[in-house]
């Protein structure tokens, strides 16, 4: 690192916890109120005239950084970095520095993590000259903006998928297009639980709860599980199988589902003919009357989730749904041709989402690299976001992200 000045955080600002207001005092209009994790409501007055850095100072998200907007009320669940010495430090630079360095070494309390004024007094900041702070903040701000735009593009495509579902099939809550409704048990050739064997070095690649995420299968962190031949043939996954999470301590995880698609398996570098699944998942092998992608998207819809959660039960802090509960869920059955048209449209959008997700991952890696270089003083005077993007694109053998 270059010879930058190092100061204690409390030398450049005055951290303060302001009085907390009750939930009953919050209003629907007025000045925004910031709690531990951002805006929680509104109030008839404010205690911060200008944007101010806030540090979540207690709870699971302890150490999270937010910046309140002008004329906001900040509660005692966040530590406000008041009276920032703007002659020595740029606020945007400081926010990026705090996010990058984190607060692990000053967080206290196991059951209830917290950051105190006393512990903040030990926190050190590396301060380059003010013009360099502004340059670093500008590069990181613009790189972060690219990440935000890519994230928003992915969110837009996911919302488009939901809109297409409603447009083609109507509102599942009211069954506005009058489709025939059948219980799921009549549409399934077989419900089957996965293996309860433990993972090890040898065995077959096995899908688990973490591999079922946002309606897709994630092939990272695949575990191997050894089973005998008969169990392998019972549990071997094939094209179109639907996997559903049957149990979890978080009720919102129960009912998460994804379709086993051999093309995705091959793209991930695995043999598509050797996958099995673990016991906390249920496999649905469907009859021809309903397509697995249509069924997945119905189960992920508001009405599908409502029915899934209503069928789940809790025991010893775990939420569960069994094959009987799944089988009793009522499914609207659009005509096969319409389901096929829907699948064709969804496949195109899903491919675009995959491309965007790849670019988003690249941008995340680039942003992390930029942070490391910036706070080690390794950004040269000639470095700009444009030049960095071009070099990154050249290394990735892809066009610059700014043109994507």
Structure tokens at 394: 């050249």
Query: How many of the other CB atoms lie within 10 Å of CB of 137?
Result: 19
Are the C-beta atoms of residues 254 and 228 closer than 8 Å to each other? no
What is the structure's pLDDT at 133?
95
Query: How many of the other CB atoms lie within 10 Å of CB of 18?
Result: 17
Structure tokens at 90: 């740029």
CA angle, residues 376, 367, 96, in degrees to nearest 5 = 60
Q: Where in the chain is the domain with CATH 3.90.220.20?
A: 5-127, 180-333
CATH 3.90.220.20 matches 180-333: yes
Which superfamily does CATH assign the domain made up of 5-127 to?
DNA methylase specificity domains (3.90.220.20)
* Ranges under pLDDT 50 in the chain: 398-404
**pLDDT tens digits, 265-294:** 998 899 989 999 999 999 999 999 999 999
What is the structure's pLDDT at 316?
83
The string of DSSP letters for 289-333 reads: TS-HHHHHHHHTSHHHHHHHHHH-EEETTEEE--HHHHHT-EEEE
What is the structure's pLDDT at 172?
93
What is the structure's pLDDT at 383?
67
Spatial separation of the C-alpha atoms in residues 224 and 100, rounded to whole Å: 35
């Amino acid at each position: 690192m270059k010879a930058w000045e190092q100061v204690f955080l409390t030398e450049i600002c005055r951290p303060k916890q302001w009085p907390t207001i009750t939930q009953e005092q919050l209003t629907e209009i007025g000045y925004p109120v910031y709690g531990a994790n951002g805006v929680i409501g509104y109030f008839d007055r404010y205690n911060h005239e200008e944007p101010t850095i806030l540090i979540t100072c207690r709870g699971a998200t302890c150490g999270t950084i937010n910046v309140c907007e002008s004329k906001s009320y900040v509660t005692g669940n966040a530590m406000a970095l008041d009276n920032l010495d703007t002659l020595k430090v740029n606020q945007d630079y400081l926010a990026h520095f705090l996010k990058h360095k984190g607060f692990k070494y000053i967080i206290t309390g196991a059951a209830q993590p917290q950051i105190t004024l006393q512990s903040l007094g030990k926190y050190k900041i590396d301060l380059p000259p003010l013009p360099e702070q502004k340059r670093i903040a500008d590069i990181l701000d613009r790189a972060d903006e690219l990440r935000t735009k890519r994230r928003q593009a992915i969110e837009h495509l996911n919302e488009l998928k939901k809109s297409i579902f409603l447009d083609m099939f109507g509102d599942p809550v009211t069954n506005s297009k009058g489709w025939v409704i059948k219980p799921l048990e009549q549409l399934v050739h077989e419900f089957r639980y996965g293996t309860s064997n433990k993972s090890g070095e040898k065995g077959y690649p096995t899908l688990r709860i973490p591999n079922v995420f946002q309606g897709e299968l994630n092939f990272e962190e695949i575990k191997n599980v050894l089973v005998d031949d008969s169990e392998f043939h019972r549990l071997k996954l094939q094209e179109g199988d639907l996997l559903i999470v049957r149990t979890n301590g978080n009720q919102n995880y129960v009912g998460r589902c994804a379709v086993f698609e051999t093309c995705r398996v091959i793209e991930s570098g695995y043999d598509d003919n050797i996958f099995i699944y673990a016991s906390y998942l249920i496999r649905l092998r469907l009859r021809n009357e309903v397509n697995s992608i249509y069924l997945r998207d119905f189960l992920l819809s508001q009405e599908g989730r409502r029915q899934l959660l209503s069928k789940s039960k809790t025991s010893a802090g775990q939420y569960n749904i069994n094959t009987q509960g799944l089988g009793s869920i009522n499914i609207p059955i659009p005509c096969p041709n319409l389901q096929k048209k829907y699948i064709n449209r969804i496949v195109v959008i899903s491919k675009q989402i995959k491309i965007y997700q790849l670019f988003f991952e690249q941008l995340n890696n680039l942003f992390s690299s930029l942070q490391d270089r910036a706070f080690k003083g390794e950004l040269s005077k000639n470095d700009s976001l444009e030049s960095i993007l071009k070099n990154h694109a050249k290394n990735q053998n892809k066009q610059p992200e700014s043109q994507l």
